[in-house]
């Protein structure tokens, strides 16, 4: 089941700008190990779900995962070979807006080498560059 808001005030959002550093969510709150974003961008809901599935399969019930990004922004898309005009396209998917420095995933209850291995697999699923961090950093 993909993450998405239960309800929103406005169905279609403007693109906006993704500049600057993450002012909130740039510190680890829950786990011992984390995955920090190194660039600004959008992470689609399906990438977050794919990451969650990878972690669930690898952990096999041990340890815990925290996802600190939620896809609250809607992205629209117009059909292929459509002329200009005629309004904004239909809602296509939801994305989480991620800024540089945000801790997107946190992992706890597992050894460091295993956490590093799992978060490496998660990093392959994401569309932004990331870095493995520990509680000490």
Task: Say yes or no to pLDDT of 21 above 80.
Answer: yes
pLDDT averaged over the chain?
94
Domains and CATH numbers, the chain: 33-77+90-134 (3.90.1170.10)
Please compute the mean of the pLDDT values over residues 14-22 and round it to a whole number: 92
- For 58-88, the pLDDT digits (tens) are 999 889 999 999 999 999 999 999 999 999 9
- For 40-57, the pLDDT digits (tens) are 999 999 999 999 999 999
pLDDT for position 18: 84
Q: For CA atoms 118, 24, 43, 7, give the dihedral sign.
A: positive
Question: Strands 41-44 and 73-77: what pairing?
Answer: unpaired
Full-model pTM: 0.91
């Amino acid at each position: 089941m993909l993450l998405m808001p239960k309800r929103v005030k406005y169905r279609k959002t403007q693109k906006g700008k993704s500049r600057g550093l993450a002012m909130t969510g740039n510190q680890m709150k829950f786990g011992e190990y984390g995955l920090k974003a190194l660039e600004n961008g959008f992470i689609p809901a399906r990438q977050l779900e794919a990451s969650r599935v990878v972690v669930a399969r690898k952990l096999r019930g041990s340890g815990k995962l925290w996802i600190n990004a939620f896809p609250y922004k809607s992205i629209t898309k117009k059909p292929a070979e459509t002329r200009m005009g005629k309004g904004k396209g239909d809602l296509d998917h939801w994305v989480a807006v991620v800024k540089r420095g945000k801790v997107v995933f946190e992992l706890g209850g597992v050894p460091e080498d295993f956490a590093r291995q799992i978060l490496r697999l998660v990093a392959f699923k994401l569309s932004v560059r990331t870095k493995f961090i520990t509680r000490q950093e």
